[in-house]
Structures are given as structure tokens and as C-alpha cells.
Amino acid sequence: MHPAPSVIFFTTFSGLGFGLLVWLGIGMPAVTGWTAFAFFAIAYVMAVGGLLASTFHLGRPERAIKAFSQWRSSWLSREAWCAVGALVFMGLYGAGLVFLETRFALLGLIGAGLSLATVFTTSMIYTQLKTIPRWNMPLTPVKFISFSVAGGALLAGQVSIAVVLLLLAGAIQLLAWMQGDKAFAASGTTLATATGLGSAGSVRAFEPPHTGTNYLLREFVHVVGRKHAAKLRIISLLLMVVLPVILLMLPFSHILGVLALVSHVAGVLTARWLFFAEAEHVVGLYYGKR
């Protein structure tokens, strides 16, 4: 698919923001007063900023409010409800920490659960798409959640936990790439199934359906060369896992912590660009792109 910057920004930063809210909700770190305000401000800027970015990718952003009405069948609608619930509960929980210096544990746990649910529902928007076999697998939500929780631990200053979770998230990403590379072939989708002409015999494309580009080609067919994809995978893994882990294992300093965070975010942005760029939509078969 065409990797829109707004969607890459949304899935990366909202995941980090809600990941941080998960840790704050369970009391890690146990902060109050203006220190708590600083942590919540960072989390809300990332989470809300990411959500706002996603609305610009909608065809009619002014109708975004209608997304709330389809919660029975739409993962996008479920994501919207979970996000609002998480922000409300965590807002009340944060207010108690900042202004009353009191931790209302139940509010925090509910907010943490809703924050995690928001990341899960976001991932399911992509996981449910059978037309994109690379996404349509159980590892997709596991990958989203693992990087959200790992990045959240990094933002929350939970160094020892972050090291373990970053390594785990990196391993999950590697498995997702390995399984994803085989997913399109394993789905059994061919030009014959894509056109519905398989019963008529062997199917091959005589010539492209269009002489120029169109909406489907712009939005659903983005071809990344194998060499470029391999290099970007290595770069993203080094930035989002290897370098942060090395920096975190050195004697702690705030400068190293910031560098680890910046490296991690850059790596996740690269991996998320690949997530969309490598998506092999079955419509590409019709255009001879698969």
C-alpha cells in the first residue's frame, strides 16, 4: 500500500503514547505532582497527536465523529471508543496524581487496560484485511502491542524492563517479517482467483488494464525492491532495538536515555513505513504487479 505519512505518524506515536499510559496506569513510575504532569503531558501529546494525524487520512475528516456509531462491526469505531475511554480514565487518574498527589489505583488500572485495548484495536484494523495476507496474521497485533509496551517502558524510564521488552519486540518483528514474506503465496491467491476466471483454464494478463495510473494503483500497489527492503529492515532493527539496548546497558545518564529514545522512534518509523510499503494487496494481481 502507499505509505501515507499521516498513518505512519499515527500508528507510531499513538502507540508510544498509549504505551506510556499503560505504565503510568500501573504506577510505573510512581510519580506525583509536576513530575506526573510532565509524564502525562508527553503521553497525551503523543497519543492525541497520533489520533489527530489519523483523521487527516480520512476521505472526509469532518465526518470522523461518525466512526463512533459502528462499534458493533468496525475495528476503527472500537478503536475510537477505546481511545476516548483511555484518555478520560487516565485524565482523571492523572488529575489525582498531579493535583491531589493521590493514586486512585482502580482508575489507573482501567485506563491502562483501555490504553492497551486501543493499541490492539488499531492493529486489528489492519489484521482483519484478508486482501493483504502480510497483515492478516496473528503476529500483527502481537507486534503492535509489543512495540507499544516496549516503547512505553522506555518513555517511563523503566530501563531494565525496557531492555527485555525491546529484545522481545525485535524478535517478534523478525518473526513477522519471516512469516509475512510467505503469506501472499500461502494465501493461494493468484491471477485466476483474483479475476474469478480460474474455472475457464489457465489465466494470464494479455496487457495492463490501464495505460496510466489510477486510485487503486496509487493507494494499494507500492512495490519495494528486495534489496531496498532488506537494507531498511536492518536499519530499522538496529535503530529501534540494537542501539537503544546498547545505550541502556551503559552507565545511566539522561543524555543516553534521550538518544536511546530518539533512536527507537526513528527505527519504529522506518519499520512502520515498511509495514505499509511492503503490503501486498491482492488487487496488484489484476494489474500484473504481483
| pTM beyond 0.85 | yes
pLDDT at 249: 95
- 40-60 pLDDT per residue, tens: 999 999 998 877 766 665 555
Average pLDDT, the chain: 86
Q: Compute the distance between CA of residue 187 and CA of residue 177 in angstroms, rounded to an integer.
A: 16
pLDDT of residue 107: 97
Residue 27, pLDDT score: 96
- Alpha carbons 172 and 32: distance in angstroms, whole number: 34
For residue 220, is pLDDT > 90?
no
Which has more confidence, 275 or 282? 275
- 69-86 pLDDT tens trace: 777 778 988 998 999 999
In this predicted structure, what is the pLDDT of residue 197? 65
Given a cut of 60, whether residue 215 has pLDDT beyond it is: no
C-alpha cell at position 60: 472526509
Average pLDDT over residues 262-275: 95
pLDDT over 90, % of the chain: 60
* 221 has a pLDDT exceeding 90: no
pLDDT digits (tens, 9 = 90+) for 4-40: 777 887 788 999 999 999 999 999 999 999 999 999 9
Q: Rounded distance, CA 86 to CA 113, Å? A: 8
Residue 208 corresponds to which cell in the numbers above? Answer: 495492463
CA–CA distance, 25 with 29 (Å, rounded to integer): 9
Q: Residue for cell digits 503514547?
A: 17
Backbone angles phi, psi at 209, to 5 degrees: -65, -25
